[in-house]
A and B are shown apart, each in its own frame.
Chain A
Amino acid sequence: MSIYPPEDRIWWSKPVEKTEVLWVTIAFIWGLIMFFMMPYWHLTGDQNLSNEAYKITADKYAEKTEAFAKKYQVRVEGDNDVPVVKPPAGSDVYMLARLWDWWPILELEKGKSYRLHLSSLDYQHGFSLQPENINLQVHPNYDMVVTITPTSSGEFGIICNEFCGSGHHTMVGKMYVKDSK
């Protein structure tokens, strides 16, 4: 009994139950399959994070994002005149997170790839692209780069899913994806 010392003092030399051997083998193999699924997806799958990231200060990142927005702005939207920015395919695209918005609004083309940069000017934020449900963690002082290729078009919400203070639930951004001509 498990609440008493084992009766066989030399329990380690007792044979193991057959069912246990079988199950341990199955579990081990299943573990290997699960493990190798991850490198396999790196080789063949379309959804992998690059892990490309750079140290950067908040000021520097804000500067870069503003320059980017100015360069490719096509219109402004909403009461706060948020720029809508339409960068060329393949280019570096910047979005910043801060208390409590995602800035600017992006307009991308379906099927084209963009190097999306994400960083925060203050606390950590959670980039959550809806309804695609793509979720990335955004840190201050780290510029994270992910190449994204939209495969659906329409209007997407970017909500914040890392708790970032009393206005966390008001932090919403937007991204447009247009069908390419």
Chain B
Amino acid sequence: MTSPYRICPDTGFKVDLAGEKLIKWNAVTSIVFLAIGGLLGFLVALTRWPEIHLLGADDFYMVLTAHGIVILLVWLIYFEMALLYFASSILLNVRLALPKLAWLGYWLMTIGALLTVVIVLQGESNVMFTSYVPMQADPLFYIGIIVFAVGALCGCAVFFATLVIAKAEKTYEGSIPLVTFGAMTAAIIAVFTIASGAVILIPTFLWSVGLIAYIDPLMYKVIWWAMGHSSQQINVAAHIAVWYAIAAILFGAKPLSEKVSRFAFLMYILFLQLASAHHLLVEPGLSSEWKIVNTSYLLYLAVMASMIHGLTVPGAIEAAQRKKGYTNGLFEWLRKAPWGNPVFSGMFISLVLFGVLGGITGVIMGQEQVNIIVHNTLYVPGHFHGTVAAGTTLAFMAITYWLVPVLFRRELILPGWAKWQPYFFGLGVAGISLAMMGAGTLGISRRHWDITYADAAIKFDHPALAHLMMGINGVFATIATIGGVMFVVVIVGSLLWGKNRDEVPAAAAPEPPVADVPSAMTAHGSAGVANVSGTFTLALIFLAVFVLYFFVNWKFLASTWGLS
């Protein structure tokens, strides 16, 4: 073996080979789980398509449990491990600390994930990923999740240790990059999340083997969601770090001001333990005061943080584009953006859909009283496919299109597919998100096999429009699935068969579908005067939609029965 480093010819980063290997393994494993989880989601959607109704009831509940676990937990956390290693070791030009611990973490996660998935697929643990007590799963179901979480904790430890080494060895000057700061935010939240998970899942495991007699169902939910909700904050922090990274990589964009962007990440850390009440707003035995303070992250300060990132990420791109001469009108900078490059299109679609579909709906249905007309309807999955599927998943896909050629040194196969993939996936996910919200507004329940209630002793019919919504959901689910398959084929195919870029003579090599990384041009965006009028206009449109839809929902609420 030669030096454990190589210098990346595209970016100039010093790449620690041990760290690189871990990034690769975590990323590739994550994509395998994304493929499995996505197909499970497709089966779910086909079953909820009234004209198809593919699976039987028990299989449906099993597959839905597996979809939730495989995709929400396993796909996202593996990819986040890759991001943590990338944002520490590579961006700080330092060796990854404790690679043995990182491998231990990787294998614990793998064993844990496989264990839980295998147990679920045996069909005796159809409890959904939330596993609300007193419904009980096989003890190994909980063990698998606990082992997986311990593995993720190892990854967080490696990340923090790498920051310490970089600081001690002075591999960077001044403060850590904003992207690393975002990743650190995610890692801090992850530690809190995993701790909450341990507090609730370990007793639940002991209960499942008979060592504890009783677990209070309300207490379970309060602590479970301290884990479940903050884990969504990990995803948000991670995908926003990815947005900033892509803006920097493709446009040489620098944050409008470091202070504001870092402050916004800090808000996530400060309020990370709040907002679990989102899931508990129509629960008995919790006070309205607690619900209101908690569900609002104390005056919506974390929502404000997301709105800040929503402005500063495109704002930074706009400032950089205007610097390059795209100064006409409000939107030339956006029109002339590289829409054919999946790194950009994926990132931008992720940003828009996350804000509009995921963000607005999440805040509104998280209002204490509005939740009464939303709780446990399909509106809820409609909302979170906007956040985790359109927002986080698409952002991770986008950066993968950059990682493969630059870090993994493979040319992308099927560049035409790569170009269109974010549009397919984005359209499909936006469609299922909206269709599920529509169905939920009409009263259709989530996690439900038969909305005709054919086997029920008492009959009930939903309006025909609701059934139509489920058909529309199926159509868009098909488009999303095609988009997902395209992604997996392009990425896995490129890793297996893509030309090794270091073996191709530079001149003959076709341009990889990523813009060149601007080298020295980092000193623009002079503080106080950047023109981001286009972004600000978009932000005001966003706000108008937000305000309008907010009051529409209160109006809906006001028209229902009196409750006190």
Contacts and interface: CB of A to CB of B under 8 A. Distances in A.
B408 interface: no
Interface stretch (A61-69, A90-98, A165-173): A165-173
Contacts of B288: 38, 42, 48-49, 51
A76 interface: no
Interface residues of A, number: 95
Contacts of A164: 135
Nearest to A14: B527
Interface in A19-64: 19-20, 22-24, 26-28, 30-32, 34-35, 37-39, 41-42, 45-51, 53
Contact of A142 (B284, B300, B462): B284
B286 A128 contact: no
Given A2-B179, A2-B244, A5-B177, A147 B527 contact: no
Contact of B528 (A15, A148, A161, A169): A15
Given A20-B308, A49-B372, A139 B527 contact: no
B509 interface: no
Contacts of B523: 7
A17 B256 contact: yes
A20 B257 contact: yes
B111 to A, nearest CB: 27
Contacts of B286: 51
Interface string B38-72: 00000000000000000001100100000000000
Interface in A133-170: 133-144, 146-152, 157, 159-170
Given A2-B178, A123-B135, A166-B126, A139 B284 contact: yes
B522 A37 contact: no
Nearest to A120: B217
Give the one of B134, B459, B554 with max A CB within 10 A: B134
Nearest to A127: B282
Contact of B443 (A37, A49, A118, A130): A130
Contact of B564 (A14, A147, A151, A169): A147
Contacts of A157: 458, 460-461
B285 interface: yes
Interface stretch (B28-36, B98-106, B204-212, B362-370): B362-370
A140 B286 CA distance: 15
B369 A47 contact: yes
A55 to B, nearest CB: 8
A132 B463 CA distance: 12
A37 B248 contact: no
B195 interface: no
Interface residues of B, number: 109
B502 to A, nearest CB: 22
Contacts of B443: 128, 130-131, 133, 159
A50 B286 CA distance: 10
Contacts of B173: 5, 9
A174 interface: yes
A164 B449 CA distance: 12
Contacts of A149: 561-564
A13 B367 CA distance: 37
Contacts of A161: 375-377, 445-448
Contacts of B564: 46, 48-50, 146-147, 149
B282 A136 contact: yes
A126 B445 contact: yes
Give the one of B287, B375, B447 with max A CB within 10 A: B375
Contact of B292 (A38, A47, A101, A139): A38
Contact of A136 (B372, B458, B536): B372
A133 B254 contact: no
Nearest to A102: B458
Interface in B436-474: 441-443, 445-451, 453, 455-463
A159 B527 CA distance: 57
A37 to B, nearest CB: 7
Contact of B445 (A41, A47, A128, A144): A128
Contact of B460 (A141, A144, A172): A172
A139 B132 CA distance: 10
A172 B283 CA distance: 20
B315 interface: yes
Interface in B300-314: 300-301, 303-304, 307-308, 311-312
A164 B134 CA distance: 10
B247 interface: yes
A45 B284 contact: no
Given A11-B257, A23-B536, A27-B304, 14 more contacts: A2-B253, A3-B177, A16-B260, A51-B284, A51-B288, A78-B458, A101-B458, A126-B445, A135-B374, A149-B561, A150-B561, A166-B57, A168-B447, A172-B460
Contact of B307 (A23, A82, A170): A23
B369 A45 contact: yes
Given A5-B177, A6-B174, A51-B285, A172 B311 contact: no
B462 A130 contact: yes
Contact of B563 (A27, A30, A47, A123): A47
A18 interface: yes
A166 B316 CA distance: 51
